[in-house]
Amino acid sequence: MEATVTTPVDITAVLSKRPLIISGPCSAETEEQVLATATRLAATGKVDALRAGIWKPRTRPGSFEGIGTKGLPWLQQAKKLTGLPTAVEVATGKQVEDALHFEVDILWIGARTTVNPFSVQEVADALRGANVPVLIKNPINPDLELWTGAVERVAKAGIKTIGLIHRGFSSYGNTEYRNAPMWHLGIEMRRRNPELLMVCDPSHMAGRRDILQDTAQRAVDLGYDGLMIESHIDPDKAWSDAKQQVTPEKLAEMLDSIKWRH
């Protein structure tokens, strides 16, 4: 039997780590995959929180749209096994309720949700009274007002700990990046909100493994507080975002190769 960790997670302490490293699969797929990923990430000693998509906003129907609520106990189990706090994307009020019910430690609002004030408001209403940190990804289009509006809606719901995730902006056609970083927009958002945690998600910017490290390095050079990077035990077989995920061990290597500022 592997040892289980029973001490409650001090999420404020976790979020104040620098650099803050959040990693895990694009999607939770099976219990074994979640537990194996969490165990291997924890073994690197370089990861502060475990991310996993439970409900996936896929561009086209027919793709894997997430395992749904039944995956939340797997995350609870992963936390018990490793002590890693968990992070999940929420896009509806029901998803917020379910994530909180299963004690997810960090919620994030995805780029396809930040873009829609009705959806953000629904999430914010469901968050009212909850004591949970919420990270807000930039909207898919380069509009800082929408990003700001999402921050304001969540803040008005009484959420005290809010962070930003810069994941880049979508455009038409084949481009070098899956989502253009437009670094100046991240920098400007940070200038406007110096008190907010600012994390970069180079996985969704790059969309591919070969430029992932350089993209992460750029964010570090710009002084971002942390990175959210997708990892998978068998990246090529991932049920979503297969091209951009790396194994936990590859992630550790990458983090070792990055030149940190401090």
* Selected binder of ligand PEP within 53, 163, 202, 226 (CB under 6 A): 53
Among 28, 88, 111, 255, binds ligand PEP (CB under 6 A): 111
Nearest approach, Cβ of 245 to Mn ion (angstroms)? 8
Question: Would you count residue 26 as binding Mn ion (CB under 5 A)?
Answer: yes
Q: Interface with ligand PEP includes 232 (CB under 6 A)? A: no
Q: Which tokens go with 68?
A: 């749904």
Q: Cite the beta strand spans of the chain per DSSP E.
A: 20-24, 49-51, 86-89, 106-109, 134-137, 162-166, 197-200, 226-230
> Based on CB atoms, which residue is closest to ligand PEP, 56 or 190?
56
CB of 159 to Mn ion, least distance (A): 23
Q: Which residue type is seen at 134?
A: V
Judged by CB under 6 A, the residue of 110, 181, 207, 235 near ligand PEP is: 110
- Per-position DSSP letters for 51-66, written without gaps between them: E-BSS---SSTTS---
Looking at the chain, how many residues does it have? 262
Single residue of 40, 79, 166, 204 touching ligand PEP by CB under 6 A:
204
What does 224-257 look like in DSSP terms, one character per residue?
-SEEEEEB-SSGGG-SS-GGG-B-HHHHHHHHHH
Site string for Mn ion, 223-262 (x = CB under 5 A): ------------------x---------------------
Distance between CA atoms of residues 52 and 22, nearest Å: 10
Tell me whether residue 89 or residue 225 sits nearer to ligand PEP (CB atom): 89
Contact 95, 65 (CB under 8 A): no
- 127 binds ligand PEP per the rule CB under 6 A: no
Instruction: Give the interface segment with Mn ion, choosing from 25-33, 44-52, 146-154, 253-261 (CB under 5 A).
Output: 25-33
CA distances from 80 to 32, 38, 68, 83 (A): 14, 10, 20, 6
Decide if residue 79 touches ligand PEP (CB under 6 A): no
Say whether residue 48 binds Mn ion (CB under 5 A). no
> With binding defined as CB under 6 A, does residue 71 bind ligand PEP?
no
- What lies within 8 Å, CB to CB, of 74 at 6+ separation is 28, 31, 34, 35
Rounded to the nearest 10°, the torsion over CA 32, 38, 39, 42 is 180
> At closest approach, how far in Å is the CB of 250 from ligand PEP?
18
- Which residue's CB comes closest to ligand PEP? 110
| 227 exposure class (CB count in 10 Å sphere: 0-12, 13-18, 19+) | buried
Binding mask 17-36 for ligand PEP (x = CB under 6 A): ---------x----------
Residues that bind ligand PEP (CB under 6 A): 26, 53, 57, 89, 110-112, 137, 167, 204
Residues that bind Mn ion (CB under 5 A): 26, 241
